[in-house]
């Protein structure tokens, strides 16, 4: 079974993303890939193998806040380190905590600078065999 997917939904001024994953970890990874695609304007490529790996550890009030924190962590690291993160491995996750390893690369141009992930309408739910999430990115 495919681990996860994402698609962009209509929004007048921002970017709204709908994400699906077979489990919470896959859901969060897909949300990160969607963010990378917004930034790059195309599907994320594999990063060069030489790019160093970074650790991310987060804790939040609940799962929705954890998703917003996760995306905001990727956004602020992109701004700081001039990298788009295109290889994401969520090793541990529960309702409020996450540990992940991420790798990125420095593209020549960034198509869209993402300011932040928002709490507006953020929603995560389990449906049959999948986790579904919606989140709005401020661009």
Q: Which range touches other proteins (CB under 8 A), out of 20-28, 44-52, 85-93, 119-127?
A: 119-127
Backbone angles phi, psi at 67, to 5 degrees: -65, -45
Q: Which is nearer to other proteins, 51 or 139 (CB)?
A: 139
Using only C-alpha atoms, the chain has a radius of gyration, in whole angstroms, of 14
Does 112 sit near other proteins (CB under 8 A)? yes
Rounded Cα gap, residues 118 and 32, in angstroms: 14
Provide the 10 A C-beta neighbour count for residue 53.
11
By beta-carbon proximity to other proteins, the closer residue of 1 and 10 is 10
Intra-chain end-to-end CA distance of the chain, in Å = 32
Q: Interface residues for other proteins in 5-34 (CB under 8 A)?
A: 8, 10-15
- Asked if 72 and 116 count as a contact pair (C-beta separation under 8 A), the reply is yes
> Closer CB to other proteins, residue 2 or residue 79?
79
Residue numbers at the binding site for other proteins (CB under 8 A): 8, 10-15, 41, 61-62, 64-65, 68-69, 72, 75-76, 79-80, 82, 106-113, 115-116, 118-122, 136, 138-139
């Amino acid at each position: 079974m495919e681990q996860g997917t994402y698609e962009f939904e209509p929004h007048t001024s921002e970017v709204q993303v709908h994400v699906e994953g077979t489990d919470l970890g896959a859901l969060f990874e897909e949300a990160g890939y969607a963010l990378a695609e917004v930034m790059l304007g195309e599907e994320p490529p594999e990063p060069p193998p030489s790019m160093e790996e970074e650790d991310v550890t987060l804790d939040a009030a609940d799962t929705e806040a954890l998703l917003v924190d996760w995306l905001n962590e990727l956004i602020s690291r992109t701004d700081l380190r001039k990298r788009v993160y295109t290889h994401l491995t969520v090793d541990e996750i529960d309702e409020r905590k996450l540990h992940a390893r991420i790798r990125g690369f420095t593209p020549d141009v960034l198509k869209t600078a993402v300011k932040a992930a928002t709490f507006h309408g953020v929603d995560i739910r389990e449906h049959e065999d999948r986790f579904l999430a919606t989140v709005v990115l401020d661009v």
